[in-house]
Amino acid sequence: MTEDAQDRMELLAQALPYLKRYDDKIVVVKYGGHAMGEEETALRFGRDIALLEQVGVNPVVVHGGGPQINAMLKRLNVQSRFVDGLRVTDAAMVDVVEMVLAGSVNKQVAAAITRAGAIAVGISGKDGGLIRARKLTRTVRDPGSNIEKVLDLGFVGEPEHVDARVLRLLIGADIVPVVAPAGVGEDGATYNINADTVAGAIASALDAERLLMLTDVSGVRGPDGAHIPQMTVAEARAGIAAGWISGGMIPKVETCIEAVERGVKGAVILDGREPHAILLELFTDRGIGTLIVP
């Protein structure tokens, strides 16, 4: 037996207990950012999700598409307007966002998984009443007057309620749901929702075994810069309060905390650019990301 073959057998032996652990369990995967970049990366992601389904795991994919939205806005000459760093999504822009997310990106992700041997179906949060959204509000304090004001971000929303019946029907039929992060308000308006937030809300609604947040860093790093393989919710909150969890990592950690507090068994932040990141996280002894647990 060659050394390469021996390595493969060792990996299979190591993976077996985890294959049993995740058998028939739901794993929600947030897929976006740099992890969606190159074609080979996208095809590899599709193969990994298909493999999960084929070994008995029930994956649910929630995707973003910021770079694709920016490219389409530029092509259509639709100008973006930002207020305190947040993009205002007006009626014209939300149409473009929905076209890109629920259209081309959603179908590309579903097609990559189907091409790899599973059956994937792309839907948006508007389909089947999956996500009822409410308008997202943000307040800022004027540094001069110290008066708070409410920012109007247009058609930017957050999940108010997730009705997971359509997802459970697809999962029960051995179909991989691929969800675009849009929702519908009580008034019938379409709202663009952050994909991380949607993934967390769906994972909670499904009582998922794991929420995997694919990003472009290897996970959370401690005050000494060392990678942290596992933390409790209390430790994560302490890291935010102390300031060594900062910047763009804060909303990701907060999404994981909220999901875990609402019943998800564990949430992981990991580098989606790493080849086979999902498989390495789920089916090896130590994983490769930062696992946040109750």
Residue-wise pLDDT tens digits, 144-203: 777 777 778 889 999 999 999 999 999 999 999 999 999 999 989 999 999 999 999 999
- The token duo for 227 is 């990678």
| Spatial contact of 279 and 19, defined as CB atoms under 8 Å apart | no
Q: Give residue-wise pLDDT tens across range 267-292.
A: 999 998 888 999 999 998 888 999 99
- Tally of CA atoms within 13 A in the half-sphere of 54 that contains its CB: 13
Cα separations in angstroms, 244 against 75, 238, 240, 287 = 39, 9, 6, 22
For the cut 60, the answer to whether the pLDDT of residue 1 exceeds it is no
**Among residues of the chain, what percentage have pLDDT more than 70?**
93
Confidence of residue 37 (pLDDT cuts 50, 70, 90): low
Mean pLDDT of the chain: 90
pLDDT band of 81, cuts 50, 70, 90: confident
Give the DSSP H or E segment for 20. Answer: helix 3-21
Q: pTM to 2 decimals?
A: 0.90
pLDDT of 142 above 80: no
Query: Is 266 in contact with 260 (CB distance < 8 Å)?
Result: yes
